[in-house]
Structure 1
Amino acid sequence: MTAQVNRAVTQTRTARAMLRPVLQSNLSLRTKIGIYKTYIRSQLTYASPAWYALCSDAQRRRMQAQQNCVLRMCADAGRYVRNDVIARDLAVPSVEEFVRRLARTMFSRADASHHPHLRDLAPLHARPPDATRALPRDLLRTAGTKQGDG
């Protein structure tokens, strides 16, 4: 998944650079967060329910770092303020929490669909207990599980 994550991070950096004057302006914090969610987070998490489970921990940290940079810029927070404090105060979930919510919504809609081809979207197959590769539907499990090295 290296190429996918590299593409997402590169697009996010480009969008952040282009929006820097807006994100550092005197706009309201609510507006800045809306701009982040619309232009930057959408590029960072595009189609992520399909590929995020295959990412390694390092790739996930790279994606989270992009969000942290933008939120710090929006809040005009100094380097001494922790990233989790900024995200909590701005009420922005982590990238992983957001992708899990997207996956939960996508799979629940697919499972409830009256179209048979959608109901069979990424079925949950029985796998051996020693299988290390995560599958997209594994995002629906709790946040504490290991997701693979992709």
Structure 2
Amino acid sequence: MSTPAGGGAEVLAITANDGVVLARQKTRALAQQCRLSLVEQTKLVTAASELARNTLIYGGGGTMTAALVEERGRRGVRLVFADQGPGIADVDLAMTDGWTSGSGMGLGLSGSRRLVDDFVLDTAPGAGTTVTITKWAR
């Protein structure tokens, strides 16, 4: 079980493009605070940007909950993207590299999974989608 480190979680609304920008900025600030390397910061911010955009475009908007966490002596950044949209009907297909349900490059979910250490997708048709990602300091 992870515990928040250093002040708890912050919830950001993702209801317009500026929410995506704020999600990236908050992610970068937490990654720096956690002392992730520049490469690891970039990976986490890229994943956060993709997931925030998915939350807005496919989920109709939602939230990003961001926190520093500690688990088994490790420090990391955990981000939870949640929406009340239509959910993902075919998770296997959605996680396939190159597949897209829109006009994007098809790198959102599968690419984000590769960029982080922990990736959990919880979705069901009609029940929205929650994606939890964590990047651990090395």
TM-score (norm 1): 0.29
Which structure has the bigger radius of gyration? 1
- RCO higher in structure (CA 8 A, sep ≥6): 1
Where is the strand percentage greater, Structure 1 or Structure 2? 2
TM-score (norm 2): 0.31
